[in-house]
């Protein structure tokens, strides 16, 4: 939970800095949702690439990819924003995280992209017969 609050705080402040003063909570929720969706797709992709060679788009799994971001956004909304929890998070951690480096918030989506790229590269080597 603390990681989600940290990411929410950093993305919220970044949204305000770039001029999105009217909806910073929505921007930060969408940013976290994108990262979580990428991690979920990485896990599902790794499962299908390396464990089960069935088609990713089989009939039973066809609807899971659009549902991942929708469900994660709704869950994050109730965890971080519902009933003014966003204001409480901002007030609670204002002194602690203001001015600190944003390395965690930057690395959160980048690690997901890198993991997916590494999975694709390993699968490419497997298809060529190198591995």
The distance of Cα 16 from the centroid of its chain, to the nearest Å, equals 20
pTM of the model: 0.84
Do 89 and 9 touch, CB atoms closer than 8 A? yes
pLDDT tens column, 97-117: 877 788 889 999 999 999 999
Which 8-state DSSP code applies to residue 21?
Answer: -
31-64: burial string, b at 16+ Cβ within 10 Å, e else: bbbbbbbbbbbbeebbebeeeeeeeeeeeeeeee
Tens digits of residue pLDDT in 17-39 = 888 788 899 999 999 999 999 99
């Amino acid at each position: 939970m603390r990681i989600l609050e940290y990411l929410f705080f950093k993305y919220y402040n970044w949204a305000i800095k770039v001029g999105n003063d009217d909806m910073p909570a929505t921007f930060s929720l969408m940013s976290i949702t994108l990262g979580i969706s990428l991690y979920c797709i990485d896990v599902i992709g790794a499962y299908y690439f390396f464990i089960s060679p069935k088609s990713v788009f089989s009939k039973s799994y066809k609807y899971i990819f659009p549902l991942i971001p929708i469900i994660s956004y709704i869950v994050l909304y109730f965890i971080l924003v519902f009933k003014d929890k966003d204001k409480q998070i901002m007030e609670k951690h204002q002194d602690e995280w203001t001015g600190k480096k944003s390395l965690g918030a930057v690395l959160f989506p980048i690690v997901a992209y890198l993991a997916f790229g590494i999975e694709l590269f390993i699968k490419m080597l497997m298809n060529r017969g190198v591995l």
